[in-house]
Amino acid sequence: MTEQERRVKAEQRERFDFAVIANWLQPGEHVLDLGCGDGRLLRYLDETRDVTGYGVEIDPESVLACIRNGVDVIQMNIESGLLGFEDHSFDRAIISQALQTMHTTERILTEMLRVAAEAVVSFPNFAYRSNRAAIAAGHMPVSEDLPYDWFDTPNVRFFTIVDFEDLCGRLGIQIRERLAFDEAGREVADDPNLNGSLAFYRLGRKS
Amino acid sequence: MSPENSVGLVTPQCVRFDTPLTLKSGAVLPGFELAYETYGTLNASHSNAVLVCHALAGSHHVAGFYGDDPENIGWWDNLVGPGKPLDTNRFFVIGVNNLGGCYGSTGPLSIRPETGKRYGADFPLVTVEDWVAAQARLADHLGIETWAAVLGGSLGGMQALEWSLQFPDRIRHAMVIASAPKLSAQNIAFNEVARQAIISDPDFHGGYYAEHGVLPTRGLRLARMVGHITYLSDSQMAEKFGRQLRHGEHKFSYDVDFEIESYLRYQGNKFAAFFDANTYLMMTKALDYFDPAYAYAGHLPSALARAKARFFVASFSTDWRFAPSRSREIVFALLDNRLRVVYAEIDCDAGHDSFLLDDQHYHALLRAYLGNIAI
């Protein structure tokens, strides 16, 4: 694959991820995007769902990219929580493929559902078939959704669909909807922990 | 600096306003003058005007240099010019000396019409709110209905914030840098030390030093030395001066031993040679009084509810005078009102003074934000 093909493919994939999230949003929602990177998701959601809201990002270059993209970004470290954000101040808190890069998983999930009525979480499933095969063959997996070598990955938490759902249970978080997709972007119904490369969740507080 | 990115030769201007201005204190100024400079060109729709507000010791001389004094380069020249982050090819930029200042605007050094003598200590205390009200008169004079942006660092950032509150419909973007929504007790304490240094100088004469033909130079010098300590970070001071000795050995005297002492004395002397003591007192008091939340039982989000501007807020990691947490207070109060804001916390070693430096990332952020402002 050439660099150009790779980029086009990555962009298609990204658009697909964005569309999954956008489908869960009502028009005009007020959202918080944690680990928002260069702000492309927020921009997409603004264009397609007319959302308002803010991105949160720690990386200086990403903050600069957000500003260039006209996205409202707050530079802060969310590992210690969302201090300063008021309870129930957003319709939705989103963390798109960034939860695995943060240490304080429990606190972040709890905080998302403190500041927002509903949370959207997406992450790469470590138990996906090809990842299991890589481990069985003696190697850390490198895949479409885990595209980093073990020595330069930004990911610090490696977990599976089953693990994540266990944690939600322990934290009293209600799973309202789950979608899983394989590497080709096909929705997976059968055994998502084995067949799903990327997982999307709609989460709420148990009432 | 290459000449092609300087605004070049500039000439200060002055405008007089004869409609009385009622100040926040209740005092009335029958009329006043403001010294200002402009860079770039006001476009046909008057939509590209940017006001740069100065901090404690700044002036209207923001960029460029003077014909009779080419060494006198504007205090934010690294930011303002053709092709610079605040691009004068695109924006019409205005610098103004605040009311009560000592660089040409009406202030304690001005002649009081009623008496024919200098105001001195009789010049009323002016506040950030009063500055903004006076700046609005200048905007009217220049035909500027709405600022594309008002920006400033430190006390200048407070003016940008105040613009968004006092004239919500006349400012599209407020850029509040290295600032705070109000001073802390520690901030006020430093200001009070500076004021006491001036007031207790035997040459101060209750503020009427001009009539005695003297200047409270020693007090002003001390005030500036205290101020300078708060502008720098501990790490930067350590790096710049450490415990370096002026004479290579301990002198066992109260003369300058350490380089930091020499630096502070130099800064103090330089400042005391040209700045007016009454203006300095007044500026520190304006800082102390600034507190938009005061009228809202201390609740900043309520105070900011009337703002309509979009905000750019930035702080510096080593600024302990107005630490990043102070900027975050502003940011979260804006969030509570669902106002649009970007907030950057810039890693920079130079403490409070960082906002005046041309740190690459800092300037890239300013360039990106300003570049997206529609004109």
Q: Which residues of chain A have a CB within 8 Å of the CB of B335? A: 54, 74, 84-86, 89
**Would you say residue A111 has pLDDT above 80?**
yes
Q: Which of B72, B36, B30, B28 is nearest to B54 (CA)?
A: B36
Lookup: tokens for A173: 């978080």
Interface test with B, best of A29, A57, A75, A85 (most B CBs within 10 A): A75
Q: Which residues of chain B have a CB within 8 Å of the CB of A85? A: 332, 335
Q: Which of B233, B237, B240 is nearest to B346 (CA)?
A: B233
pLDDT band at A8 (very low <50, low <70, confident <90, very high): confident
Q: Give the number of other CB atoms < 10 A from CB of residue A9.
A: 12
- pLDDT tens for B116-175 read 999 999 999 999 999 999 999 999 999 999 999 999 999 999 999 999 999 999 999 999
Q: Would you give the end-to-end CA distance of chain A in angstroms?
A: 49
Give the residue ranges of DSSP H helices in chain A.
3-23, 40-49, 60-68, 105-115, 129-136, 161-170, 192-195
What is the average per-residue pLDDT within B83-94?
Answer: 98
Show the domains of chain B with their CATH numbers. Answer: 3-182+292-372 (3.40.50.1820), 187-284 (1.10.1740.110)
**Would you say residue B53 has pLDDT above 70?**
yes
Q: Rounded to a whole number, what is the distance in Å from the CA of B202 to chain A's nearest CA?
A: 48
The answer to whether A20 touches A179, Cβ cutoff 8 Å, is: yes
- For A54, which of B335, B364, B369 is closest by C-beta distance? B335
Any catalytic annotation for residue B233? no
Length of chain B: 375
| Nearest chain B residue (CA) to A82 | B332
Q: Give the number of other CB atoms < 10 A from CB of residue B238.
A: 12
- pLDDT score at A4: 84
**Would you say residue A31 has pLDDT above 80?**
yes
Residues 6+ apart with CB under 8 A from B74: B7, B10, B37, B61, B62, B63, B64, B65, B80, B95
What is the average per-residue pLDDT within A91-118?
Answer: 97
- pLDDT score at A80: 86
Lookup: tokens for A111: 């905080």
**Do A72 and B331 count as a contact with CB atoms less than 8 A apart?**
no
Q: Among residues B54, B173, B228, B352, which one is catalytic? A: B352
**Do B343 and A52 count as a contact with CB atoms less than 8 A apart?**
no
- pLDDT score at A15: 83
Q: How many residue pairs from chains A and B have C-beta atoms closer than 8 A?
A: 54
Distance CA B301, CA B202 (A): 45
Rounded to the nearest angstrom, the gap between the alpha carbon of residue B129 and the centroid of all alpha carbons in its chain is: 14
**Would you say residue B326 has pLDDT above 70?**
yes
Any catalytic annotation for residue B315? no
- pLDDT tens for B336-366 read 999 999 999 999 999 999 999 999 999 999 9
Q: Which stretches of chain B sit within 8 Å of chain A by CB?
A: 328, 331-332, 335-336, 338, 340-347, 361, 364-365, 368-369, 371-372
Mean pLDDT over each residue of chain B, to the nearest integer: 96
DSSP element (H, E) containing B312: strand B310-316
The answer to whether B355 touches B177, Cβ cutoff 8 Å, is: yes
Residue B347 in marked binding region: no
Any catalytic annotation for residue B352? yes
Q: Is A75 on the interface with B (CB under 8 A)?
A: yes
Distance CA B275, CA B222 (A): 13
- pLDDT score at A9: 79
What is the average per-residue pLDDT within B294-319?
Answer: 98
**Do A84 and B343 count as a contact with CB atoms less than 8 A apart?**
no
What is the average per-residue pLDDT within A46-59?
Answer: 97
**Do B368 and A64 count as a contact with CB atoms less than 8 A apart?**
yes
**Would you say residue B1 has pLDDT above 70?**
no
| In chain A, % of residues over pLDDT 70 | 100
The answer to whether A184 touches A145, Cβ cutoff 8 Å, is: no
Residue at token pair 């004021």: B195
Mutual orientation of helices B155-166 and B128-141 as an angle, nearest 10°? 70
Q: So what's the architecture of A3-205 in CATH?
A: 3-Layer(aba) Sandwich (3.40)
Q: Rounded to a whole number, what is the distance in Å from the CA of A116 to chain B's nearest CA?
A: 13
**Do B338 and A52 count as a contact with CB atoms less than 8 A apart?**
yes
Q: Rounded to a whole number, what is the distance in Å from the CA of B364 to chain A's nearest CA?
A: 7
- pLDDT score at B2: 47
Distance CA B150, CA B160 (A): 5
- pLDDT score at B3: 57
The answer to whether A63 touches A37, Cβ cutoff 8 Å, is: no
Up-side HSE of residue A196: CA atoms within 13 Å toward CB?
A: 23
Q: Which of A36, A30, A96 is nearest to A70 (CA)?
A: A36
Rounded to the nearest angstrom, the gap between the alpha carbon of residue A154 and the centroid of all alpha carbons in its chain is: 14
- pLDDT score at B105: 98
**Do A68 and B361 count as a contact with CB atoms less than 8 A apart?**
no
| Whether the predicted interface score ipTM is above 0.90 | yes
Q: Among residues B6, B154, B164, B354, which one is catalytic? A: B154
Q: Which of A86, A87, A91, A97 is nearest to A27 (CA)?
A: A91
**Would you say residue A56 has pLDDT above 60?**
yes
**Would you say residue B104 has pLDDT above 80?**
yes
The answer to whether A193 touches A161, Cβ cutoff 8 Å, is: yes
What is the DSSP-derived secondary structure letter of residue B26? Answer: S
From the number of C-beta atoms within 10 Å of its C-beta (0-12, 13-18, 19+), residue B143 rates as exposed
Q: Which residues of chain B have a CB within 8 Å of the CB of A67? A: 342, 344, 365, 368-369, 372
